[in-house]
Amino acid sequence: MAAKRTKKSKAKRRFGAVRQYRSGAWTASYLDPTGVRRRSPETFETETDAEVWLSQVEADLTRGAWRDPDAGAVNFEEYARTWVAERGLGALTYELYQRLLRLHILPTFEDMDLDEITPPRVRAWRAERLTATGATTVAKSYRLLSAIMGTAEDDELIRRNPCRIRGAGKEVAAEREIATVSQVDALAEAIGIRWRLMVYLGAYGPMRPEEQAGLRREDVDVDAMTIRVRMAAPELNTGKRAEGPTKSGAGKRIIVLPEFLREDLRRHVEWYAEKGPGGLLFVGEKGAPFRRTTFGRKWRKARVKVGMPASFRFYDLRHTGHTLATRSGATLKDTMVRAGQSSEKAALIYQHSDHERQKEVAGGLDGMVRAAREKAAEQARQGSSGAQVVRGS
Q: Which residues pair with 283 in a beta bridge?
A: 289
Q: What is the percent of the chain where pLDDT is above 70?
A: 89
Q: What is the mean pLDDT of residues 342-352?
A: 45
**Packing angle between helix 332-339 and helix 355-392, nearest 10 degrees?**
90
Q: Would you place residue 192 in the very low, low, confident or very high pLDDT band (cuts 50, 70, 90)?
A: very high
Q: How many CB atoms lie within 10 A of CB 93?
A: 14
pLDDT category, 386, cuts 50, 70, 90? low
Q: Please, are residues 367 and 327 in contact by the beta-carbon 8 Å criterion?
A: no
Q: Which has the closest alpha carbon to 107: 80, 136, 67?
A: 80
- Residue 388 has what pLDDT? 57
**pLDDT band (50, 70, 90) for residue 25:** very high
Instruction: Please give the residue that has the higher pLDDT: either 346 or 266.
Output: 266
Q: What is the pLDDT of residue 290?
A: 84
Sign for the pseudo-dihedral over CA of 194, 198, 199, 205: positive
- Residue 10 pLDDT greater than 80, yes or no: no
Instruction: Report pLDDT for 6.
Output: 47
**Stretch 239-244: mean pLDDT, rounded?**
82
Of 173, 94, 165, the residue nearest 136 (C-alpha): 173
List, for residues 105-116, the tens digit of each pLDDT value: 999 999 999 989
pLDDT at 12 over 80: no
Please tell me the predicted confidence (pLDDT) of residue 72.
60
Helix (H) or strand (E) holding 387: helix 355-392
- For residue 274, the model assigns a pLDDT of 94
pLDDT tens-digit readout, 263-278: 999 999 999 999 999 9
Coil, helix or strand at residue 363:
helix
Higher pLDDT, 38 or 5: 38
Count the neighbouring beta carbons within 10 Å of the beta carbon of residue 383. 10
Residue 354's pLDDT is what? 61
Residue 259, C-beta contacts closer than 8 angstroms, at least 6 positions apart: 225, 362, 363, 366
User: If you classify domain 181-364 with CATH, what class do you get?
Assistant: mainly alpha
Region 7-62: CATH code: 3.30.730
pLDDT at 60: 83
79: three-class secondary structure by DSSP:
helix
Render pLDDT for 284-336 as a digit per residue (tens, 0 to 9).
888 888 888 889 999 999 999 999 999 999 989 988 888 888 888 877 778 77
User: Which amino acid, residue 37?
Assistant: R
How far, in Å, CA of 386 to CA of 259, rounded? Answer: 33
pLDDT in tens, 44-102: 999 999 889 888 888 888 887 777 676 668 999 999 999 999 998 888 889 999 999 99
Query: What one-character DSSP code corresponds to residue 103?
Result: I
Omega before residue 206 within 30° of 0, cis: yes
- More confident position, 8 or 32: 32
Determine the residue type at 308: M
> Please, how many CA atoms are within 13 Å of residue 350, restricted to the half-sphere of its CB?
17
Q: What is the pLDDT of residue 73?
A: 80
The mean predicted confidence, pLDDT, of the chain is 86
- For residues 246-269, give the mean pLDDT: 90
Choose from 3-7, 346-350, 353-357, 363-367 the range with maximum mean pLDDT.
363-367
Q: Lowest-pLDDT range, 33-42, 52-61, 250-259?
A: 33-42
